Structure 1
């Protein structure tokens, strides 16, 4: 079970403490068991800091604490603080990947089901970067129109193969499968069942998707539709 340790302290030597954590990261490279580290500053009291460290389990946290580098850095941290830091040990009982969930719904619900759901998933000024479109598509209504072109031409589904999230970005690797039922880029419907793969990187702001970058095998799709010699 994922384990989180919160270290609460007070100091006006914030930059020195930040550099100390950089030293810890460097000295424990290849040894530490921590998977995520956050240093946060209280907005109402700049001397109040909270460090949040995530581990795969409590046992991993204890192994990390027993590293000589961790003990040495902690002693230096104490010297920078106004008093002894306090520790809170937390067992994680729920861990929601909210950004990934929003992006998953974009593919599996809004693009393939009800485009009205876009209003609850995208910012109004959403900016879409698709190498097949020039200029870029900007705004929810413009994207809704782009989606309509695909839905008029194909009955299709998305299968999400992988999702990786970091900070405000989510990268999704997907497979698209469709039946060509209507005109597409001047090509009359063929009735063919076709597929392609692609990757999309989304940027989120306040829980909504505000920007997207697409890479997919459109050339291969046109070949499978018989528009090109493969």
Structure 2
């Protein structure tokens, strides 16, 4: 179970504390078990600092605490604080990456049969799409709906989300796409073939979770080969 430790400090020497955290990262390189560290400053009291440190488990956190380097840095941290820091130990019982959840919903909705919904709860009106297979970027929600409509008119398909990685306002999704060719696709009439491809998409989200930009990479050449489009090419 993921474990999180909250370290609550009072200090007016934040710059020195910040440098101390850099020192801890350097000293424990290759040894520390912490996976994520976040430091916040109280907006109503600039001397009130909270550090949030994430570990894979409580046991890993204890291994980290027992490192000599961690003990050294802690003693230096206490010297920078106006009072003894307090610690709150938390077992994570719910961890939902909201941006990632919206991306999963988008992939699910795109592949759902029937009329395509408005999507304005997921995609911003000024959405900007980058697809190297298209001559020009797709700009705007309505244009993106037309792009999706082209694919939906040519295939009955579904996406399977294989992996997601979230960093800041960006979500990287590795996916598998499987479909049946039922209509014209780039001049290729319906073949009835079952086809598939893999790809990766990076989406950028804004504060309310709506998607504002996307970058696609996928095996379009492999898809064309499955449709028989390359059989007619002369080598």
Report the TM-score when normalising by structure 1. Answer: 0.94
Q: Is the 8 A contact 2:164 2:172 kept in 1?
A: yes
Q: Where does structure 1 lack aligned partners over 5 or more consecutive residues?
A: none
> Does residue 1:224 correspond to 2:222, yes or no?
no
Deviation at 1:111, TM superposition (A): 4.2
SS at match of 1:30: coil
CA drift of 1:53 comes to 0.6
The C-alpha deviation readout for 1:164-217, integer Å capped at 9, x for no partner, is: 222222111111111111111112111111111111111111222221110011
The aligned runs of 1:68-217 (5 Å cut-off) are 68-113=68-113, 115-116=116-117, 118-206=119-207, 207-217=209-219
Alpha-carbon distance between aligned partners in 2 of 1:143 and 1:176, rounded to the nearest angstrom: 18
SS at match of 1:116: coil
Per the TM alignment, residue 112 of structure 1 is displaced from its structure 2 partner at its CA by 3.3
- The answer as to whether partners of 2:111 and 2:157 remain within 8 angstroms in 1 is no
Tell me the secondary structure at the aligned position of residue 109 of structure 1: helix
Question: Unaligned regions of 5+ residues in structure 2, if any?
Answer: none
Question: Structure 2 vs 1, CA of residues 202 and 61 (structure 1 numbering), >3 Å: closer, same or farther?
Answer: same
> Is this contact kept in 1: 2:7–2:52, CA < 8 A?
yes
What SS does structure 2 have at the residue aligned with 1:31? coil
Residue 6 of structure 1: CA displacement?
Answer: 0.6
Q: How many Å apart are 1:44 and its aligned residue?
A: 2.1
Give SS of 1:120's match: coil
Deviation per CA, 1:129-172: give whole Å up to 9, x if none. 10112321121111001000111111111112222222222111
Q: SS of the residue aligned with 1:70?
A: helix
Match of 2:24 in 1: 24
RMSD of Structure 2 on Structure 1 (CA): 1.6
- Counting matched residue pairs gives 230
